[in-house]
Structures are given as structure tokens and as C-alpha cells.
Amino acid sequence: MRLADVDFTERDGSVIAAVRGEIDMSNASALGDAVGGATPGDALRVVLDLSRVNYLDSAGIHLIFRLRQSLRDRDLELAVVIPPESPANDALRLAGLMGRMEIARTLEEALGT
């Protein structure tokens, strides 16, 4: 059973990866590979939209940091969308990582629109 699905769209030079479901050790690596593989070289940034993620464990948190570094190595930015009331926000807060990365509350905020 697949725990998470991801849909890719492009807007204004950004690749938007909208994830829904659960991100844990069983699928985090494959999800990271899918996002990295779906990002063309001419993209300006990747927006990882976790608004519809209902579970995020330590492997999912590691995925965010690994993806950020991988994209930096390609001179790309990573924007992460996590609404304040979401389980993903709770996971990052409990891990003490809220100040370690820039987080947008909405997709529009991440895109700067």
C-alpha cells in the first residue's frame, strides 16, 4: 500500500510537488528521488507542499533536509509549505527544527504571490 502520493505542476519557473498522505521510513527515500527527478535543470525552485500530509516521521524530516541540500547542490531553492495546524508542523516543532528552515504557511506565500 502506498502511503503518500505526489502530484507535480509547474508555475512561474517553480516545480510544485504537492504531497498527500503519510511520509515515513517506508517511502521517504522514494519520494525524495521522485521530487529530484521531476525537477528540470531550468527550474528556479522546488516547492514541497506538505499541506495534505497527515503523518511525518523522522525519515520524512530527514527527507526535507536531504532534498534541500540536493537542490542547493544544483543551485536551486527549496520552499516548504506547512500550515501551522498540520501534523507536519507538529513533527518539526517537536523535533525542535522550526527555526532551521524557512517555512511558508501557504502555497501562495511560498511562490511569493
- Residue 74 Cα distances to 19, 102, 104, angstroms: 22, 19, 22
Q: Is 113 helix (H, G, I), strand (E, B) or coil?
A: coil
By three-state DSSP, how is residue 63 classified?
Answer: helix
Geometric angle at alpha carbon 84, from 26 and 95, rounded to 5°: 50
Q: What is the pLDDT of residue 1?
A: 38
pTM: 0.90
Question: What structural domains does the chain harbor?
Answer: 4-111 (3.30.750.24)
Residue 3 is predicted with a pLDDT of 78
Beta bridge partners of 55: 22
In this structure, are residues 88 and 82 in contact, taking their beta carbons and an 8 Å threshold? yes
How far apart CA 1 and CA 12 sit, in angstroms, is: 34
DSSP letter at 106 equals: S
Give tens-digit pLDDT for 65-99. 999 999 999 999 999 999 999 999 999 888 887 77
CA distance 44 to 96: 29
Average pLDDT over residues 4-15: 93
